[in-house]
Amino acid sequence: MRRKIVAGNWKMNLDFQQADELIANIVKELNQHHRKDVDVVICPPFPYLMIADYEAETNGYFLGAQNVSIFNNGAYTGEISASMLSAMCVDYCIVGHSERRKLFFESNKDVAEKVNRLLENDVKPIVCVGEVLEERENGQHFSVIKKQVSEGLFHLTEGQMQQIVIAYEPVWAIGTGRTASTFQAQEIHSFIRGLVLEKYGAETANEIRILYGGSCTAKNAKDLFAMPDVDGGLIGGASLKANDFVTIAQSF
Ligand code: 13P
């Protein structure tokens, strides 16, 4: 049975003190309520990984980064390598978020490279896919997602694929308050699982965890997570409020 997972993507938010308080509050509240069958991942900005690391790891939660370099090491000013993340006890790393695809021109090929670097360093990739509004309105969402999944991931072996978490984040739902319906989420999640089934077989398809992201809140998480192919969420705005994030983490 797949373990449930909820990850908070803080994006580039909060000052040091706010970050320190948020992580402390999340951990405190989780410790009061937390169900042990849910993996909780906290993905703060790079400079706050250290504080989050101590709080999260000592309490049984996971630490995630939001990005990684395609390079191993060397003269790449400003980049952060997968081995550095691994040395910081980072367990997961978000790859190919739509903000990085759009604003920093990350391609599916870049996603594939980043996934490789992470797996080489025992960090689990959370690979984001999703269509923009125009693609959905034109009925292209299935083909867009198929391309993102296959070009980003289908070079992996079966064993590697089982380390991957996929996050379906329709771009039109991110930060807009326009959440995908439970039908839309389930339809795409089951489509993605079907792609994995076709390529890797039933065991991997049953193992792989697929998260929903995009205006997922304390109010709508329960309905979304009740869908059979939705294994949890990748949470943006609502992960910046301890109460909301902890409620979401318990919405199974
Ligand atoms: P929101 O939850 O703010 O819509 O963001 C989702 C997201 O981009 C998580 O990676």
Spell out the domain ranges in the chain: 4-249
Q: Of the CATH numbers 3.40.50.2000, 3.20.20.70, 3.40.1000.10, 1.10.10.10, which one belongs to the domain with range 4-249?
A: 3.20.20.70
C-alpha of 180 from chain center = 17
State which ligand 1 atom lies nearest to the alpha carbon of 94. 10
pTM above the 0.85 mark? yes
Residue with the smallest CA separation from ligand 1 atom 7 is: 236
Distance CA 214, CA 212 (A): 7
Q: What is the pLDDT of residue 144?
A: 98
Residue-by-residue DSSP string for 66-101: S---SSSSSS-TT---HHHHHHTT--EEEES-HHHH
Burial of 202 (0-12, 13-18, 19+ CB in 10 A): exposed
Q: What is the whole-number distance in angstroms between the Cα of residue 201 and the centre of ligand 1?
A: 30
Residue with the smallest CA separation from ligand 1 atom 2 is: 236
Q: Is 97 a catalytic residue?
A: yes
State both tokens at 176. 């807009």
Query: Quick one: which of 34, 30, 40, 33 has its CA closest to 3?
Result: 40
Give, in order, the Cα–Cα distances in Å from 69 to each of 15, 25, 28, 122: 24, 31, 33, 15
Contact 144, 112 (CB under 8 A): no
Q: What is the pLDDT of residue 133?
A: 98
Give, in order, the Cα–Cα distances in Å from 5 to each of 55, 175, 234: 18, 20, 9
Q: Which residues form the pocket of ligand 1, taking CB atoms under 6 Å from any ligand atom?
A: 9, 97, 169, 174-175, 213-216, 234-238
Residue with the smallest CA separation from ligand 1 atom 9 is: 236
Q: What is the whole-number distance in angstroms between the Cα of residue 214 and the centre of ligand 1?
A: 5
Q: What is the whole-number distance in angstroms between the Cα of residue 98 and the centre of ligand 1?
A: 10
Q: What is the pLDDT of residue 1?
A: 82
State both tokens at 128. 């984001």
Q: What is the pLDDT of residue 56?
A: 84
Contact 80, 68 (CB under 8 A): yes
Q: How high is the mean pLDDT in each 10-residue block of the chain (252 residues)? A: 96 97 95 86 96 85 97 98 96 98 98 98 98 98 98 98 98 97 98 98 98 98 98 98 97 96
Q: Which residues contact 234 (CB under 8 A, 6 or more apart)?
A: 7, 9, 94, 126, 128, 167, 169, 211, 212, 213, 216
Q: What is the whole-number distance in angstroms between the Cα of residue 44 and the centre of ligand 1?
A: 13
Contact 126, 94 (CB under 8 A): yes
Distance CA 1, CA 206 (A): 8
Residue with the smallest CA separation from ligand 1 atom 5 is: 236
